[in-house]
Structure 1
Amino acid sequence: MATFFILCLLIVLLLTGMPIFAGLGLASVAIMLVTEGSISSVADTVFAKLDNGLLTAIPMFAFMAHVMIKSRVVDDLYEAANAMVGHFKGGLGVATVLSCTIFAAISGSSVATALTIGSSAIPQMQRFGYRPRDAYGVIAAGGTLGILIPPSGPLILYAIVTETSIGALFLAGFVPGILMALIFAFHCISQAYFQKERKDSSWIGWKNCGSALKRSIWSLLMPPLVLGGIYSGIFTASEAASIGCIYALLVGAFVYRNFGFKELGETAYETVRTTAMLFMILAAAAMFGHAVTIIRLPIELMESVTALGLSPLSFILVVMLVIFVLGMFLETISIILITTPIILPALIQLDINLIWYGILLMINLELALITPPVGMNLFVIKGIANAPLAEVIRGSLPYVLLMLLGLFLVMMIPGLALWLPEIAGFGR
C-alpha cells in the first residue's frame, strides 16, 4: 500500500509538468513530514550523497563531449565511416550506426550522440534515397548506444548508487554495446534490399578512404586514450575524464583551429547547465531514497519477493517490465536513482550479479530513449530534422523490437556482459 501511495504521489507531481528534481523532493518531504514530523535529516542526506569524488567524472565527460561537438571533430568521424562502408547495400545506414558507436565511446551521452551524428547523417541519408522515417529511426536508435558503450554517465551513476566497480561496468558494456550495434546494422542491410530506390554512396577509392580515415584519427584516438588509461590503471575514471577534456581542447584549438575563448565560454555554460540539472536530480533522489527507507519500503519489498518465492530470473523479468513502463514517462537518470535504491536489497538477497543487472538496466534505459511519450532521442530528432513527431516514432518502432531482442539475449546469456570483467579479474 505504501509503495502504491508513493508511486501515485510521484506520478501526479511529475504529470503537473514540474521538474524531476522538484517532484522527487516534494514527494520526499511529504513522506518525511508524515512519518517523522521533521525534515532535519535532509541536509545530511544530500551532503552524504554528493560528497563523492567519483561525481567529478560526470561534468568532465560532459565538457569533453561538448568540446568535441562544438569543434565539429565528429563531422570527420561520420565522413570516415561513410567512406568505409557507405558503398555497400544499406551501407549508409551501417555507416551511421558505426559513427554512433564510435561517438558513443567518446561522449558517453545518448542525446549528444543523436544530436551530433543526426545533424550530419539525416540530410545525407535522405539525399541517397532513404525514407525520412528510416533515417530518423536509425539515428534515434544508434544514439542510444551512448549510455551502454563506455564511458557512460548513467553507468557511472549506477556504480555510485550500488557501490560497484566503474571499470567492471565499463568493460561489461562493451560486448552488449557492440551486439546492439551489429543488430542495428543487420537491420539496415536487410531493410535496404526491400527498397530499390536507395542509391547508397559510390566507392571513393582506397586513397580517398585513407584520407577520410586520416582526418578522423583525432576522434578515433579519444576512446583508447580515455578507456585505455582506466583499464591499465594509469589513472582513475575522474582523471581519465580530465585527460579527455585536455585532449579535446588541444585538438579543437590547435588541430581544427575553430575553438577559441568564445566557444570555450559557450561550452562551459552548457556543461554547467547539464551538470547542475543532474546534481539537483541526484540530490533529490538521495532524499527520496532516504524517505522510502524510513517507511521500510526496501525491507518490505525484499520480504515480499522472498515470500513469493520468485527465482532470480523471474524477479529480473518483473523488474525489467516495470522499468520499461517507467521509461515511457521518466528520463534515464531519474529511473536509475528512483528504482535502484529500492530494489538493491532484493538483488543482493537473491544473489543477482550487480554488474549483469546494471547492463540489463542500461539496455532497458536505451529503450526509454525511443519509446513515447517521453523519449528524449525522439525529441532530439524531431528538433534537428524539423519532422513530425509521429514520423520519428514510426521510424523508431522497429528498433524497439530489436532492443528487446538484445535485452533478451543478454538476460539469457549473462556471459555477454560478464565475460570481459571476469577476464580482467573484477569481482561482483
Structure 2
Amino acid sequence: MIAGLFAGLLALLATGIPVGIGIGIVGIVAGYVGMGEASLAALPSTLFAGINSFLLIAIPLFILMSEILSRGGVTEILFNTVTRWLGHLPGGLAVSAVVTSAIGASITGSSVANAASMAIVCVPPLLARGYDRRFSYGLVAAAGTLGIMIPPSIPMLLYGEITEESIGALFMAGIIPGLLITAALIAYTVVVCSRGGVAEAIPKASWAERWEATTRAIPAMMLPIIVVGGIYSGTFTPTEAAAVGVTWALIVGVLIYRTVGVRQIVAALRSTLISTSLILVIIAGSNVLGAAVTRLQISQDMLAMVQALDLPSWAFIACTMVLLFILGMILEVISIIFIILPILHPIIVSLGVDPIWYAVIFTLNMEIALITPPVGMVLYVMTGILKRPITEIIQGVLPFVGVLIGCLIILMIFPGLSTWLPNLLR
C-alpha cells in the first residue's frame, strides 16, 4: 500500500502539479479507496484541522523575522564582524563565511533564507579574493543548510507539531550538532585552502576595528538568545517567541541599524505571505494524506513488518536514513516531514528510539536533501541569485555533501551529542 501511495505521488509530481495539491489528491484517492464516500464528507474538516494550530502561527512569524533581518542587511553586518576577527587567517574569508552562516542560522530558522543571504553577501568577496568559484559556491550552499539545524528551526517546529515533542528540547538538541557541522565545514575549508594558497589574504584588523564591528553586531546576535532562551526558560511559548523575534527584528532594523523602512517591511510581508501560503497548502494536503494513512493503518502494518523481520533498532534507523536521503533527492523538505514522519514516528517510539535524537538526524538528512539534485532547493536559490549554471553549483557542493554525510554518521554513532544538552537542562 505504501509503495502504491509513493508511486502515485511521484507520478503526479512529475506532471508539474504543486506539491501540496499533489499530496492532497493522493490522500483523497487513498481515503476513498479505504473508506468510500465517508472520507469525502470529512475532507473539509480534515483540511481545516491540518492548519488550525496555534503553534503553526510561529511559522509566518519566524519567516517574517528572517525577511526583515535579511532586507535590513544584517548578514552583511555579521559577515563584516566575523571577517574582522578571522579574515586574516589562512582561508580566513571562507572560514568567516561558515561562521557567519552559523550565526545567521540562529536568526533565520530557514536554510533557504540563510543560503540566499549568504550567497549575496559572501560569494562576491570570496571570488574577488581568488577563491575557487566552485568551492565558494559549494561552501556557501552547504553552510547555508545550517539554517534548519541551529535553533530556531522551522522544520524542528514542524517536527514538534507532528510528534508532540517539546519544541524547547528539539531546539536545544540542535545546538551541539549545529556546532559539530560548523566545525566540520571549517576543518574541510582549512584543509582545502591550505593546499592552494591562491586566495589573497585580508589585512589583519586592529583591535579597535574588531570591537567597533562587534559592538555594531551585538543587537542582531541577541535575537537567538531572546528567542531560544525565552522558549526554554518558559518565559513564552514558541509562537510568542516568534512574535517577540519579529518585534526585536523591527527594533534592530528600524531603530538601531536604520536599514529597514516602509518599502522593506512591505516587501518582507509580501514574501512572507507567499512562503507561508505554500507551506500551509503542503500542510493541509499532507493532513489529508495522513488521515488516509491512519484510516488504512499503514503505520501499524509497517510496525508489524518490522517486528516480523526482527530488525535491531539501529538497522531500522539506518534504513530510514537511506530512504530519507533518496526521498530528499526528489521531494521538498516540508513535504517529506509531513508525509514520512507520521508513519515513522510511532515505529520509532515502539522500538525505544529517543525521538529527540531521531529529530536531529532526520533534520541533518533534510540538510543534505537541500543540496542534492535534482530537487535541492538551495541549489536553485543560489542559481537564481548568482546567475550561474546549476551544474556548476552542483559540482561545487558535492564534496560538502560528503562532509555532511560524515557528520550524520557521527551523530548516529554518538546519540549523546544530540541528547546531552536537552537532558542537562530538563
Please classify the TM superposition score into its range, dividing by the shorter chain length. over 0.9
- Give the drift of 1:118: 1.4
CA contact (8 A) 1:105 1:146 kept: yes
Task: Name the counterpart of 1:276.
Answer: 277
- Give the drift of 1:327: 0.2
Q: How does 1:309-320 map to 2 (within 5 A)?
A: 309-320=310-321
Whole-angstrom distance in 2 between the partners of 1:381 and 1:201: 25
Whole-angstrom distance in 2 between the partners of 1:36 and 1:236: 38
Q: Deviations over 1:238-295 (max 9, x none)?
A: 1111111011111211122232222222111111111111111101101111112222
Task: Name the counterpart of 2:4.
Answer: 5
CA contact (8 A) 1:57 1:237 kept: yes
CA contact (8 A) 1:378 1:392 kept: yes
- Give the drift of 1:125: 0.3
Whole-angstrom distance in 1 between the partners of 2:274 and 2:322: 32
Whole-angstrom distance in 2 between the partners of 1:196 and 1:152: 36
1:301 and 2:302 matched: yes
TM-score by length of 1: 0.97
CA contact (8 A) 1:74 1:219 kept: no
- Give the drift of 1:17: 1.0
CA contact (8 A) 1:129 1:200 kept: no
Task: Name the counterpart of 2:400.
Answer: 399
User: Unaligned 5+ residue runs, structure 1?
Assistant: none
1:207 and 2:205 matched: no
Task: Name the counterpart of 2:34.
Answer: 35
Deviates more, 1:322-331 or 1:342-351: 342-351
Task: Name the counterpart of 2:189.
Answer: 188
Q: Deviations over 1:31-70 (max 9, x none)?
A: 1222222211222222333222111111110110000011
- Give the drift of 1:236: 1.3
Whole-angstrom distance in 2 between the partners of 1:344 and 1:73: 37
- Give the drift of 1:156: 0.2
CA contact (8 A) 2:75 2:121 kept: no
Cα separation, partners in 2 of 1:144 and 1:66, compared to 1, 3 Å: same
TM-score by length of 2: 0.98
Whole-angstrom distance in 2 between the partners of 1:295 and 1:225: 44
Whole-angstrom distance in 1 between the partners of 2:106 and 2:259: 23
Whole-angstrom distance in 1 between the partners of 2:323 and 2:155: 18
Q: How does 1:159-174 map to 2 (within 5 A)?
A: 159-174=160-175
SS of corresponding position for 1:106: coil
Q: Deviations over 1:192-230 (max 9, x none)?
A: 111121123221211111111122122111111111211
Whole-angstrom distance in 2 between the partners of 1:360 and 1:121: 28
SS of corresponding position for 1:374: coil
1:369 and 2:370 matched: yes
Deviates more, 1:151-160 or 1:271-280: 271-280
CA contact (8 A) 1:6 1:27 kept: yes
- Give the aligned residue type for 2:15: T
- Give the aligned residue type for 1:147: I
Task: Name the counterpart of 1:19.
Answer: 18
SS of corresponding position for 2:58: helix
Task: Name the counterpart of 2:238.
Answer: 237
Q: How does 1:351-366 map to 2 (within 5 A)?
A: 351-366=352-367
Whole-angstrom distance in 2 between the partners of 1:32 and 1:133: 47
Percent identity reads 38
- Give the aligned residue type for 2:93: L
How many pairs were matched up? 424
